[in-house]
Structure 1
Amino acid sequence: MKSQLEEVNEAEVAVFKKNLKKMEQYRGRGTELISVYIPENADRGSVMGQLTEELSQSSNIKSPSTRKNVQGALRKISQFLKSIDFKIPARGIVVFAGNVSPVEGRSDLRLFTIHPPKDLKTKLYWCDSQFHLEPLKDMVKSTDIYAIIVLDKREATVAVLTGKKFDIVGHFTSMVAGKSRAGGQCLSSDTLIPLPDGDIIEMKDTHNPLGVLSGDFEKSSIIPSAVTDKWETEKTPLKIVTKYPRFEIQSSKDHTFFVLENGKVIEKKAENLKVKDRLLFPEKITIFGKYQPLQTQFFNSYQISKAGRELLIAKRLEKKWGQTQFGKRIGITQTGVSIVERAKSNIRHDLLIQYLLALEIPFESFVYTYCTPLQNHRLPPILDIPLAQFIGYWIGDGNTEKERVCLSEQDPQLSNYYAEHAKKLFNANVQVKHRKEKGYFETRIYGKPIVKFLQSEFPEKHGALESEIPKKVLRSPDNVVAAFLKGIFDAEGYVSDRGLGLGINNKKLAKQLQLALLRFGIITSVHPYDNRRNPYSKNIRYTLQTRETRSLELFQKQIGFSSEAKNKKLNAHIQKGNTRSVVRQIPTPGSEVRKIIEKNGWKKQRFISSNMYLQDRRNISKQAFERTILAKTKTNPTLYQEIEKIAEQELMPVEIFRITGSDTPISMVDISVQNQNFVAGGLIVHNSSVRFEHLREEAAKDFFKKVSEKTNQIFSDYQDKLKGLIIGGPGRTKHEFLERELLDYRLKEKIMGILDCSYTDESGIREIVQKSEDLLKDAEITHERQIVNEFFEKIVKGDLATYGQKEVENALDIGKASILLISEALEWIVLKKRCDKEDFDEEIIIKDPLNFDESKERCSKCGGPIEILEQVDYVDWMMEKTKSIGAETRVISRETPEGETFFKGFGGIGAILRYK
């Protein structure tokens, strides 16, 4: 049977906790803060009688100010109860009232109400220097605790997860030595490896148990697999270059490759490979990327809250610095310090950094807690399609100066296009200058915050020879990656008689682009050529190129150009192209296909146009196969299904064009992978053999015993409250740990899941929390991340979502909102006030309650004095509006990166809509 608290929805509990935090902050100058707990079935006469009695007794208070405040608070409570005609809600109500002014001698009488999540059992009256909250806190004390252990043979971390927060309670390291050796099957350390999350890294950056992409030869597809070991060495290389498409890879002579011979995949050492051997590469790489949140709060000027200013003053006085002395330390005048501390002006980003550094206050936590960024410029909180396209163009043809971003372009139409694009994207001042002496147009985008934002969030942008595709782009969904590619092809791409091309002096970037295009099934070659005749540059130039019609069609459909002229050229090239493809060949021999056809009762004469292929005398492209064989089998469902499987194969053959050797050793890396192969440099290559040393195993056993004993000891006091245990680690390590049977049997009974993770320190704990959505379905953190990511996705797609106070309130008023998302960090309040003269009630939203002066409030109709009936938290008020239209409310904390982005980037108010 569910407890009463479990029956209350998450949003109500979140608002309740938020209100408790707020009430906890208030302090009275004396015993002048009143708390009244009223159960649902409380007797009206008894409650009102006690308030009257307390009012009478308060006349004995010696301090005039305390007496005045207590009596004012008691009258407010009585007036409030009369205004609701003593209709106490289900589960009861708690009323708080008193002088909450932080300034001595100033009165600020406020009344607050809280609806408890459980039934109030007894009536309670309390008058003290703070509000009495203990009975309410007891109602929401978390009893569900999860344990997390992440470990490998050299490190283990133990954590306790309660609600959304985890605490590290144990961290252990061992003396197990890492694996090392002099030999092995190696690849050049700079070989590019695509990862399942979309990232593309060099071999030297792999580690145990990082996920890589691997070939599934049974299904002829690409799947994720984990690295289990890594070694580094130096060896003399063989350089292997393929033909159509052109890939290039350097390996040791003993590295194993997969070769397609007579329709079968065999293994060959690199030293045994020969020209025209057919290696394998993936036709398409499928990545399920995630929208990447961006930090936008650190790049503009800031407005510091009252509490923040008080902290700055306190820290300065703590160091015994006067304003003049402190100003000299940070390079401003005494007047400048005074202006900041009295909030007479906002503070610049760079000055705030100096200010906080001198006072030894952490910058990020101060900005998060006490600052509101004043964004004259619009900085996107998520890497969306418009920003990704701009980043692509900026990496291709842009640079940054101190206070502006510059884009260079010869085409005036394209220059104006990106000027408008940047103006709309950043709300920036943009100018286009014609640099006649240099023969190009320069688009200048002004704004220091924009420069800092781009440099901070996309640090992969360097000079022409060092820039890379930003990791945030690579880890994004395909539509965002496509926008980036569109931008960089706008900058550096072209269409010629040879097809689609892009020329740059950066080899790594060219190869990254080659791999990124495989996410769309676009197959390209990277060709180097000697650039010494170029009077402006002696650097080798790299051309990314394809003339295959299918790849051009996919590029046109999924990426395209912003330039009308380039789009016309691309379309013309596609129209005059043919379906013959030398880069997208069916790997299955024609004789095997013929056997399938004949097994199903058909003769090969039905496929006369493919006769040479069916006799193994010629290869066939995928397009020709689909047109001349697959399409003709539709009338035979059984045959069609078998032929379709052949057409859907993702592993394609590519011929070796050249093999060259070198006597100079280079840095090489050797890894082993669970699935025995991985994608490297665009090709599918064999992994290393796995070696286990006896001494390492013995040391690992001792370490596992130590971790088990410490874990048993740590959680011995948690047994009754511990709801579940999750084990994480690389490869089989976590399973080996459990197989030792060293954990307390009571802990083993609570194991909820065993998960892979890349790290075994605090980062590993975070990774497990993120991966455990199904396992931790009852933990608040999982639900929150899911709904915020859904909101981000809909915003990026321009789909059924909106944000901003007015927009969301309007969506609620007309019943369009399905789910309200609101940040618990919003400190706004709603005042319910009444004018007796006009017999008029109204509600107003106060966004800065700390500096709100209730005495200045007037009736909006007559301008006369009003009575404040009740003060309600804005989040609570919005939740009531949501209930009235049958929608849901999700209160979002700032304890996750998504929640922080939601608050800082979207103002903390958003909604998922039922309809547009």
Structure 2
Amino acid sequence: MLNPKLLKITKPKIYTLGSLNTLLLGDRNKREKDDFMAGAPHHVLEEVNEADMAVFKKKLKMLEAIKGRHTELITQYIPPGTDRSTVMNTLSEEINQSGNIKSPSTRKNVQGALRKIIGFLKNINFKLPPTGLVVFAGNISESEGRSDIRLFTVTPVRPLKVKLYWCDSAFHIDHLKEMMAPNDFYAIMVIDKNEATVGQLVGKKYEILGHFTSMVPGKSRAGGQSSQRFERLREEAMQDFFKKSAEKFNSYFEPYIPRIRGVLIGGPGMTKNYFMEKKVLHHELEKRVIGVIDTAYTDEGGVRELVQKSQELLKDSELVKERQILDKFLGEVARDGLATYGQAEVEKALEDKRASVLIISEDIPWIVFRKFCEHCENAEIEIVKEPETFEESKMRCTKCDSRVETLEEISYLDYMIDRAKECGATVRVISTETNEGKQFFEGFGGLAALLRYKV
């Protein structure tokens, strides 16, 4: 029986895919000893709704593309629990300070953006989402001398911990980009008879959760009965190491099985296959094994090698859910069943609460303006399908034809997700990275719904 004290463990470390080149051939004897980490994986991220993450990523991509001609794009980070007077006083003080800007046009645009932010915060009565709020405003016109001051908001997908005011020629989104790590992850193990390393892959980063060695002796060259006995003891020691490695692997990931997108097992030769044949993994984890792959190493370098060799496998796996929902939608359409598509039809299904699943392409470019008429106090929305040619200054109130104030500008994707939540429908955001996603966007306008019932 293998002595448990022979297991050597290292503390968890986090690496990016580009930072481990120097570790591939590192000294394996310089491993830090520590008590083994029992329980679930450390640093597992908070759950984030898939649709919310899709909207979040699209907004950041849009904001990152905006470049000011001068230093006149303002970013205001407001964490949850922020004192209202502190933010309002800061913005008011910035208006006063901006009076020192030498360029008249830049001064006008900065002050206009600040007043737009103040007006927006007053309009929502400073009621912040639970995760906080980030407000962006500034002149986004690409023409010199022309002013087009727009306001955008982003609700962080995870609690905002940074309070920040920033005025520059680009919006400041670095802290928000850090939140884009996916909800789910892949469980990883590389193993042979001598050592095993367990990790988790989250997006493009992976974390080493544990490393342990067995000290299973090498093959004996002695002949006779002692050789047979030695081989039997060696086999028992190896099986015991496999069992203990699997127990540690199971203890990490069992509490998070629903969030595991797949399990990857690697190692040199046939040892990893022998390990899988022993059926020592938790049965639900075993069901999620998507690849058993050859690697030259079974330490941190082996994990990196496993991730690199699994890129295509991981990419394909990420699209399984998307393809399944599209197949279901197309099946319902083919038999004239519980499905509909098109803007008017889907919006009506949401309004009537008939929609059970909203299916929407992330490539729909439409913009939704929330506007307010001070003349007749009419609040309404306007959906713009060609934002590249749209002029905000020409918007009018549909009741009295007066000029209106734009309170907020959001994507149609964001708008529809909010409507789906209001009627209790789930949301599936479809990319155009696959042929199915492209066909859905081109053939159905990128907008559809599965229904609870027909009318």
Tell me the TM-score range normalised by the shorter chain: 0.5 to 0.7
In the TM superposition, what are the counterparts of 1:740-751 in structure 2 within 5 Å?
Answer: none
Aligned twin of 1:672: none
Would the aligned equivalents of 2:181 and 2:202 in 1 still touch at CA under 8 Å? Answer: no
- Please tell me whether residue 15 in structure 1 is matched to residue 55 in structure 2: yes
User: What is the Cα deviation at residue 767 of structure 1?
Assistant: 8.5
State the alpha-carbon separation in 2 of the partners of residues 794 and 119 from structure 1: 39
The correspondence for 2:355, drawn from 799, 808, 817, is 817
Q: Which letter maps to 2:120?
A: F
State the alpha-carbon separation in 2 of the partners of residues 129 and 744 from structure 1: 56
Change in Cα spacing, 1:80 to 1:788, as seen in structure 2 (3 Å) is same
Instruction: Decide which structure has the larger Cα Rg and report it.
Output: 1
- Please tell me whether residue 851 in structure 1 is matched to residue 389 in structure 2: yes
Aligned twin of 2:166: 126
The correspondence for 1:27, drawn from 67, 86, 101, is 67
Change in Cα spacing, 1:833 to 1:797, as seen in structure 2 (3 Å) is same
Give the TM-score normalised by structure 2: 0.65
Aligned twin of 1:753: 289
User: What is the Cα deviation at residue 903 of structure 1?
Assistant: 1.1
Deviation per CA, 1:217-245: give whole Å up to 9, x if none: xxxxxxxxxxxxxxxxxxxxxxxxxxxxx
The correspondence for 2:137, drawn from 74, 97, 116, is 97
User: What is the Cα deviation at residue 144 of structure 1?
Assistant: 3.8
State the alpha-carbon separation in 1 of the partners of residues 156 and 136 from structure 2: 13
State the alpha-carbon separation in 2 of the partners of residues 852 and 5 from structure 1: 40
In the TM superposition, what are the counterparts of 1:709-724 in structure 2 within 5 Å?
Answer: 724=263
The correspondence for 1:64, drawn from 104, 110, 121, is 104
Question: Please, which runs of 5 or more residues in structure 1 have no aligned partner?
Answer: 150-159, 165-720, 728-734, 757-763
State the alpha-carbon separation in 1 of the partners of residues 201 and 335 from structure 2: 34
State the alpha-carbon separation in 2 of the partners of residues 146 and 881 from structure 1: 35
In the TM superposition, what are the counterparts of 1:235-634 in structure 2 within 5 Å?
Answer: none
Would the aligned equivalents of 1:808 and 1:910 in 2 still touch at CA under 8 Å? Answer: yes
RMSD: 3.6
Deviation per CA, 1:724-762: give whole Å up to 9, x if none: 4268xxxxxxx9x751669999xx999953669xxxxxx
Change in Cα spacing, 1:753 to 1:8, as seen in structure 2 (3 Å) is closer
Deviation per CA, 1:816-875: give whole Å up to 9, x if none: 100001111112111011111111111010111122101111111111111111111111
- Give 3-state SS (helix, strand or coil) of 1:29's partner: coil
- Please tell me whether residue 739 in structure 1 is matched to residue 266 in structure 2: no
Change in Cα spacing, 1:743 to 1:864, as seen in structure 2 (3 Å) is farther
State the alpha-carbon separation in 2 of the partners of residues 849 and 42 from structure 1: 34
Q: Which letter maps to 1:86?
A: F
User: What is the Cα deviation at residue 794 of structure 1?
Assistant: 1.2
Aligned twin of 1:875: 413
Aligned twin of 1:108: 148
Aligned twin of 1:725: 264
State the alpha-carbon separation in 1 of the partners of residues 447 and 261 from structure 2: 35
Would the aligned equivalents of 1:148 and 1:161 in 2 still touch at CA under 8 Å? Answer: no
- Give 3-state SS (helix, strand or coil) of 1:102's partner: coil
Give the TM-score normalised by structure 1: 0.33
Question: Please, which runs of 5 or more residues in structure 2 have no aligned partner?
Answer: 1-39, 191-199, 205-259, 293-308
State the alpha-carbon separation in 1 of the partners of residues 186 and 339 from structure 2: 34
- Please tell me whether residue 40 in structure 1 is matched to residue 90 in structure 2: no
State the alpha-carbon separation in 1 of the partners of residues 274 and 143 from structure 2: 57
- Please tell me whether residue 837 in structure 1 is matched to residue 375 in structure 2: yes
State the alpha-carbon separation in 2 of the partners of residues 14 and 47 from structure 1: 29
State the alpha-carbon separation in 1 of the partners of residues 147 and 388 from structure 2: 13
State the alpha-carbon separation in 2 of the partners of residues 742 and 147 from structure 1: 15
Aligned twin of 2:340: 802
Would the aligned equivalents of 2:69 and 2:169 in 1 still touch at CA under 8 Å? Answer: yes
Q: Which letter maps to 1:867?
A: E
Would the aligned equivalents of 1:4 and 1:118 in 2 still touch at CA under 8 Å? Answer: no
State the alpha-carbon separation in 1 of the partners of residues 403 and 275 from structure 2: 69
State the alpha-carbon separation in 1 of the partners of residues 201 and 54 from structure 2: 18
The correspondence for 2:330, drawn from 770, 792, 817, is 792
State the alpha-carbon separation in 2 of the partners of residues 723 and 769 from structure 1: 8
- Give 3-state SS (helix, strand or coil) of 1:7's partner: coil
- Please tell me whether residue 892 in structure 1 is matched to residue 430 in structure 2: yes
Change in Cα spacing, 1:77 to 1:754, as seen in structure 2 (3 Å) is closer
Q: Which letter maps to 1:835?
A: C
Q: Which letter maps to 2:394?
A: K
State the alpha-carbon separation in 1 of the partners of residues 275 and 44 from structure 2: 33
State the alpha-carbon separation in 1 of the partners of residues 275 and 313 from structure 2: 22
Change in Cα spacing, 1:754 to 1:100, as seen in structure 2 (3 Å) is closer
Would the aligned equivalents of 2:366 and 2:386 in 1 still touch at CA under 8 Å? Answer: yes
Change in Cα spacing, 1:791 to 1:119, as seen in structure 2 (3 Å) is same
User: What is the Cα deviation at residue 162 of structure 1?
Assistant: 7.1
Q: Which letter maps to 1:803?
A: Y
User: What is the Cα deviation at residue 876 of structure 1?
Assistant: 0.9
User: What is the Cα deviation at residue 886 of structure 1?
Assistant: 0.9
Would the aligned equivalents of 1:831 and 1:872 in 2 still touch at CA under 8 Å? Answer: yes
User: What is the Cα deviation at residue 782 of structure 1?
Assistant: 2.3
- Give 3-state SS (helix, strand or coil) of 1:851's partner: coil
State the alpha-carbon separation in 2 of the partners of residues 4 and 880 from structure 1: 27
State the alpha-carbon separation in 2 of the partners of residues 840 and 722 from structure 1: 47
Aligned twin of 1:298: none
**Count of residue pairs brought into register by the alignment:** 327
Q: Which letter maps to 2:165?
A: Y
- Give 3-state SS (helix, strand or coil) of 1:725's partner: strand
Would the aligned equivalents of 2:263 and 2:290 in 1 still touch at CA under 8 Å? Answer: no
The correspondence for 1:138, drawn from 175, 178, 194, is 178
Deviation per CA, 1:131-168: give whole Å up to 9, x if none: 1000000111358467899xxxxxxxxxx99769xxxx
% identity of equivalent residues? 50
Change in Cα spacing, 1:844 to 1:23, as seen in structure 2 (3 Å) is same
Change in Cα spacing, 1:33 to 1:765, as seen in structure 2 (3 Å) is same
Deviation per CA, 1:31-85: give whole Å up to 9, x if none: 1110101112111110000000000011111111111111110000000000011
Aligned twin of 2:17: none
State the alpha-carbon separation in 2 of the partners of residues 74 and 117 from structure 1: 25
Change in Cα spacing, 1:816 to 1:823, as seen in structure 2 (3 Å) is same
State the alpha-carbon separation in 2 of the partners of residues 124 and 836 from structure 1: 31
Aligned twin of 2:37: none
